[in-house]
Amino acid sequence: MLRWHFYVTTAVNHLHTSKTYPVIRNIILYTLLLGTLLFNTSCEKDATAATPAAAEAPAAKDAYVSSELLLSVPKETLQAFTASKGQDQYLTEIKYGVSVYKLIYTTTYQGREIQASGLVCVPQGMTAPAPVISAQHGTIFRQSEAPTSFTGLSGFEAFAAGGFITLVPDYIGFGASKDIFHPYYDQKHSALAVVDMIKAAKTFYKKQQVQANDKLFLVGYSEGGYVTLAAQKEIETHPEHGLQVTASAAGAGGYDLVHMLSGIKSGQAYTYPAYLAYILQAYNHTNNWNRPLTELFQEPYASKLPALFDGVKGGSAINRELTTDTKKLFNPTFFAALQDDKKELALKQALQANSFYDWVPQSPTRLYHGTTDNIVPFQNSQVTYDRFKQQGAKNLELIPIKGQGHGSAFVPMLKSLVPWLQQF
């Protein structure tokens, strides 16, 4: 199987040096294998937050709408790129060329059917049925960062080149559903965006004569870690989906949103205020609260937010227009109400409903987290792990990545994860 650490490192280095070969640069933007997860590992790419769950029970109808071949990458092209980087030792690990498709499918948002989208990366010429990996990316703000928005090589060729069918959902709010405000850290909507794509992909396999076996892996980092557990919960608690998780790995997600709130309402500085603005706006939209932003944020920030979250600006640009001082960011009345157990109950109940309090993972599951993470504190994974174990979780591991923060823990997670997945 392809080694994630090499491709992540190569991609990041090449991104800073390549001024030509625009197609190759697109390989880099996702970085082979879980490239979208890399969106969540730097100041331009992260996540942590909340929102209540509101969506219908899983539908029995076929979620497939359409598919489109974006490109085919021969094995030789991937090998040539690898050789050009002086990494000949990895050539034998590139076993297949890759075909990359855009998949349109139906899912549910606020109780109504909508169309969503994602990428499907397929190994070329496999003679045996392939396992499936659904890779959940981290927080993105720009529409151009959505997996299906890229042209040329997507970066997920590595997974498929190693023999895995790779699914990469855009999430609701991006790609085909870009007119919807992304339901950030909303458990049900996050889950269904993944699960419905996995189900729609089964019809895609039949149409394209792709052979898939019964192994299904879920992997994600930061928001993608949260989405991974949300999808796992949906699959394990709704057998009518007809799916079974082989193994799941989630890194640095905000699984306990009430715990996250306790840190925010303490008044401590928060280094990535764009996430806080993202969460509150998402909950406001997803739950149809329709509260004026001036009830939640102080000026001048309240008036700025609609233009900042326009799908064009990235996280760093948004951060520059906000403040890391939560007492200055939030409306004083709202901030005071966060301290009162009898106030802001709708928000607090939504945070609790979207935390993982009422479920225990059944499939083999790993939680990864950097011990010095100041975006999503390590303690968030610790309390989630402890709760799962107390409630009877059997095949569950918490893997601390010592001395690493939210961005720097990503590559060590991949290095540890690959051998574990190979066991299955």
Domain boundary assignment for the chain: 4-256+359-422, 258-352
The 3-state DSSP class for residue 153 equals coil
Residues 6+ apart with CB under 8 A from 378: 369, 370, 371, 372, 400
Q: Is the model's pTM score more than 0.75?
A: yes
pLDDT, residue 29, reads 31
Assess whether pLDDT exceeds 70 at residue 266: yes
pLDDT, residue 38, reads 35
Read off the tokens for 153: 């090589």
Mean confidence (pLDDT) of the chain: 86
Cβ atoms of 217 and 246 closer than 8 Å: yes
Burial of 320 (C-beta count, 10 Å sphere; 0-12/13-18/19+): exposed
pLDDT, residue 90, reads 67
- Give residue-wise pLDDT tens across range 79-132: 887 788 777 776 777 889 999 999 999 999 999 999 999 999 999 999 999 999
pLDDT, residue 218, reads 97
Of the given ranges (69-83, 166-180, 321-335, 389-403), which has the lowest mean pLDDT? Answer: 69-83
- Give residue-wise pLDDT tens across range 196-220: 999 999 999 999 999 999 999 999 9
Rounded CA separation 417/413 (Å): 6
Give backbone dihedrals phi and psi of 72, rounded to 5 degrees, phi first.
Answer: -125, 130
- Give residue-wise pLDDT tens across range 341-355: 999 999 999 999 999
Rounded CA separation 289/292 (Å): 9
Assess whether pLDDT exceeds 70 at residue 24: no
pLDDT, residue 1, reads 40
Structural fold of domain 4-256+359-422: Rossmann fold (3.40.50)
Assess whether pLDDT exceeds 50 at residue 40: no
Assess whether pLDDT exceeds 90 at residue 419: no
pLDDT, residue 286, reads 98
pLDDT, residue 6, reads 34
CATH 1.10.260.160 corresponds to the domain 258-352: yes
Q: How many degrees, rounded to 5, is the angle at CA 333 between CA 332 and CA 339?
A: 95
Name the residue with tokens 């070329």.
124
pLDDT, residue 384, reads 98
Rounded CA separation 354/282 (Å): 13
